[in-house]
């Protein structure tokens, strides 16, 4: 049985343009058919420091408030939304695919540090030129390998495990990253990017990100970054 959808939901996020973890949490709410109030706190600003404590005891985003209860961390938010609002449909019914998807989500949650550091998520950036280290290239290769393995297991030519699942939300910021920077990718990865970039929810987020006035200079990397 799902939770009462009349309970007020508030999702506290960082800048849509840069906050990859906020994007993950928001996508899971949207794919569960929810429309939470979104509070955006601009990161690396005095406003963020002044307001964050009232929403997040960890002083980090995202945080989902369900009435007077709060859930922090994107993966915990995703699993909570799945249990309470999505009748567990944000994971595949097949237990093998579900286990594989959870392992992928956990790897994304804790890994790929070189890629995160070198290629920040930036919704406004488009095909910027970057010089890749061996570690970043290895991260990109591993991500593409995971996507191929998932699609081979599920037989899907759209989402990774058939229908949309939490693992797709976990990789959505990677899709935005791969779109932001000029990278050589295998065909199957390009197809996954195209599918995600045609998604109405992701496009809604990107559109709002493009309207934001805030710029975090250290998140602006690649050729053409000075134009942002």
Q: Are residues 130 and 36 in the same domain?
A: no
205 contacts 199 by C-beta, under 8 angstroms: no
CATH assignment of the domain containing 26: 3.40.30.10
199 found inside a domain: yes
Dig out the tokens for 25 from the structure.
């949490």
CA distance 227 to 16: 19
130 found inside a domain: yes
39 found inside a domain: yes
Residue 215: pLDDT band (50, 70, 90) is very high
Residue 3: pLDDT band (50, 70, 90) is low
pLDDT (0 to 100) of residue 227: 40
Q: Are residues 177 and 195 in the same domain?
A: yes
Q: Are residues 81 and 133 in the same domain?
A: no
- Tens-digit pLDDT profile for residues 61-94: 999 999 999 999 999 999 999 999 999 899 999 9
- Work out the average pLDDT over 107-120: 98
Q: Are residues 126 and 157 in the same domain?
A: yes
Q: Are residues 61 and 158 in the same domain?
A: no
215 found inside a domain: no
For residue 188, give every residue at least 6 positions away whose Cβ sits within 8 Å of its Cβ, in sequence order, or none. Answer: 144, 147, 148, 151
216 found inside a domain: no
Q: Are residues 68 and 133 in the same domain?
A: no
Q: Are residues 107 and 199 in the same domain?
A: yes
Q: Are residues 30 and 133 in the same domain?
A: no
Asked if residue 2 has pLDDT above 80, the reply is no
Low-confidence winner among 113-127, 178-192, 212-226 (lowest mean pLDDT): 212-226
Q: Are residues 108 and 177 in the same domain?
A: yes
227 found inside a domain: no
Dig out the tokens for 214 from the structure.
């805030």
- Tens-digit pLDDT profile for residues 168-193: 999 999 999 999 999 999 999 999 99
Q: How many domains does the chain have?
A: 2
For residue 204, give every residue at least 6 positions away whose Cβ sits within 8 Å of its Cβ, in sequence order, or none. Answer: none
62 contacts 19 by C-beta, under 8 angstroms: yes
Domain boundary among 27, 61, 85: 85
- Work out the average pLDDT over 40-57: 96
Q: Are residues 33 and 54 in the same domain?
A: yes
Q: Are residues 60 and 167 in the same domain?
A: no
pLDDT (0 to 100) of residue 5: 60
Domain boundary among 36, 64, 85: 85
CA distance 150 to 78: 19
- Work out the average pLDDT over 50-67: 96
pLDDT (0 to 100) of residue 228: 38
Residue 124: pLDDT band (50, 70, 90) is very high
Domain boundary among 85, 115, 143: 85
Asked if residue 44 has pLDDT above 70, the reply is yes
157 found inside a domain: yes
4 found inside a domain: no
Residue 4: pLDDT band (50, 70, 90) is low
Q: Are residues 76 and 125 in the same domain?
A: no
Asked if residue 223 has pLDDT above 90, the reply is no
- Work out the average pLDDT over 156-165: 97
pLDDT (0 to 100) of residue 35: 96
Burial string for 8-43 (b: 16+ CB within 10 Å, else e) reads ebebbbbbbbbbbbbbbbbbbbbbbebebebbbbbb
Residue 122: pLDDT band (50, 70, 90) is very high
27 contacts 201 by C-beta, under 8 angstroms: yes
Could you list the residue range(s) of the whole structural domain that residue 116 is in? 95-210
CATH assignment of the domain containing 143: 1.20.1050.10
């Amino acid at each position: 049985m799902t939770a009462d959808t009349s309970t007020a939901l508030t999702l506290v996020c960082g800048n849509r343009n840069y906050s990859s973890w906020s994007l993950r949490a928001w996508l899971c709410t949207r794919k569960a058919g929810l429309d939470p109030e979104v509070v955006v706190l601009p990161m690396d600003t005095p406003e963020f420091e002044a307001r964050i404590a009232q929403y997040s005891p960890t002083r980090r985003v995202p945080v989902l408030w369900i009435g007077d209860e709060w859930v922090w961390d994107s993966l915990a938010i995703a699993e909570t939304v799945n249990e309470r609002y999505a009748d567990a449909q944000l994971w595949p019914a097949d237990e093998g695919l579900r286990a594989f998807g959870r392992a992928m989500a956990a790897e994304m949650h804790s890994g790929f540090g070189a890629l995160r550091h070198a290629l920040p998520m930036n919704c406004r950036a488009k095909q910027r030129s970057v010089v890749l280290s061996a570690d970043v290239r290895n991260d990109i290769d591993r991500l593409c390998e995971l996507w191929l393995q998932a699609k081979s297991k599920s037989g899907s030519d759209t989402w990774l495990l058939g229908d949309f699942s939490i693992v797709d939300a976990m990789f959505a910021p990677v899709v935005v990253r791969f779109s932001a920077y000029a990278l050589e990718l295998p065909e199957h990865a390009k197809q996954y990017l195209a599918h995600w970039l045609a998604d109405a929810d992701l496009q809604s987020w990107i559109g709002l990100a493009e309207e934001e006035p805030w710029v975090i200079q250290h998140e602006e990397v690649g050729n053409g970054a000075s134009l942002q």
